Amino acid sequence: MPATPEPALPDAGRCPLCGGDNRCAMEIARDTGEAQPPCWCVDATFSRELLERIPAEARGQACICAACVAQALRASRP
Protein backbone atom coordinates (compact mmCIF):
# COMPACT_ATOMS: atom_id res chain seq x y z
CA MET A 1 0.00 0.00 0.00
CA PRO A 2 1.49 3.42 -0.97
CA ALA A 3 2.22 5.90 1.80
CA THR A 4 -0.16 8.81 2.17
CA PRO A 5 1.69 12.00 1.22
CA GLU A 6 2.17 14.58 3.93
CA PRO A 7 0.14 17.76 3.34
CA ALA A 8 2.31 20.63 2.12
CA LEU A 9 3.13 23.24 4.74
CA PRO A 10 1.86 26.75 4.03
CA ASP A 11 4.38 29.08 2.38
CA ALA A 12 5.82 31.10 5.27
CA GLY A 13 6.32 34.07 2.93
CA ARG A 14 2.60 34.25 2.09
CA CYS A 15 -0.30 35.47 4.19
CA PRO A 16 -2.47 32.51 5.23
CA LEU A 17 -5.62 34.61 4.71
CA CYS A 18 -5.16 36.27 1.31
CA GLY A 19 -2.09 34.52 -0.11
CA GLY A 20 -0.28 37.83 -0.59
CA ASP A 21 3.35 38.52 0.34
CA ASN A 22 3.42 39.02 4.10
CA ARG A 23 6.82 40.82 4.09
CA CYS A 24 7.77 39.11 7.34
CA ALA A 25 11.26 40.35 8.26
CA MET A 26 11.90 37.21 10.30
CA GLU A 27 11.14 34.99 7.30
CA ILE A 28 13.26 37.19 5.01
CA ALA A 29 16.15 36.81 7.47
CA ARG A 30 15.71 33.01 7.47
CA ASP A 31 15.60 32.91 3.67
CA THR A 32 18.55 35.24 3.03
CA GLY A 33 20.68 34.77 6.12
CA GLU A 34 20.85 38.57 6.37
CA ALA A 35 19.78 40.44 9.49
CA GLN A 36 16.63 42.52 9.02
CA PRO A 37 15.20 45.46 10.95
CA PRO A 38 12.41 44.54 13.38
CA CYS A 39 9.34 43.24 11.56
CA TRP A 40 6.31 45.54 11.18
CA CYS A 41 4.26 42.97 13.05
CA VAL A 42 6.14 43.53 16.31
CA ASP A 43 4.06 46.66 16.88
CA ALA A 44 0.85 45.43 15.20
CA THR A 45 -2.31 44.39 17.01
CA PHE A 46 -3.86 41.11 15.91
CA SER A 47 -7.43 40.68 17.12
CA ARG A 48 -8.61 37.28 18.31
CA GLU A 49 -11.21 37.30 15.52
CA LEU A 50 -8.50 37.85 12.89
CA LEU A 51 -6.29 35.08 14.28
CA GLU A 52 -9.25 32.69 14.37
CA ARG A 53 -9.69 33.17 10.60
CA ILE A 54 -6.33 31.46 9.94
CA PRO A 55 -6.92 27.90 8.69
CA ALA A 56 -5.90 25.37 11.36
CA GLU A 57 -3.15 23.87 9.19
CA ALA A 58 -1.55 27.32 8.71
CA ARG A 59 -1.55 28.45 12.35
CA GLY A 60 1.96 29.13 13.57
CA GLN A 61 3.33 28.56 10.06
CA ALA A 62 2.97 31.95 8.35
CA CYS A 63 2.36 35.58 9.27
CA ILE A 64 -0.75 37.54 8.38
CA CYS A 65 0.09 40.42 6.01
CA ALA A 66 -0.20 44.11 6.88
CA ALA A 67 -3.08 44.56 4.43
CA CYS A 68 -5.22 41.90 6.16
CA VAL A 69 -4.40 43.37 9.58
CA ALA A 70 -5.37 46.86 8.38
CA GLN A 71 -8.58 45.56 6.78
CA ALA A 72 -9.57 43.79 10.01
CA LEU A 73 -8.84 46.95 12.01
CA ARG A 74 -11.01 49.06 9.67
CA ALA A 75 -13.82 46.50 9.86
CA SER A 76 -13.78 46.51 13.65
CA ARG A 77 -14.26 50.28 13.91
CA PRO A 78 -17.81 51.60 14.31
| Whether the predicted model's global pTM rises above the 0.85 cut | no
Region for 55 from its dihedrals, namely left if φ exceeds 0, alpha if ψ lies in -120 to 50, beta otherwise: beta
Residues 76/36, Cβ–Cβ less than 8 Å? no
pLDDT tens digits, one per residue of 56-67? 988 888 889 999
Q: How far apart are CA 35 and CA 28, in angstroms?
A: 9
Residues 36/25, Cβ–Cβ less than 8 Å? yes
Higher local confidence (pLDDT), 75 or 4: 75
pLDDT of amino acid 30: 87
User: What one-letter code names the amino acid at 40?
Assistant: W
pLDDT tens digits, one per residue of 3-52? 655 556 678 888 999 999 988 888 889 889 999 999 888 888 899 999 99
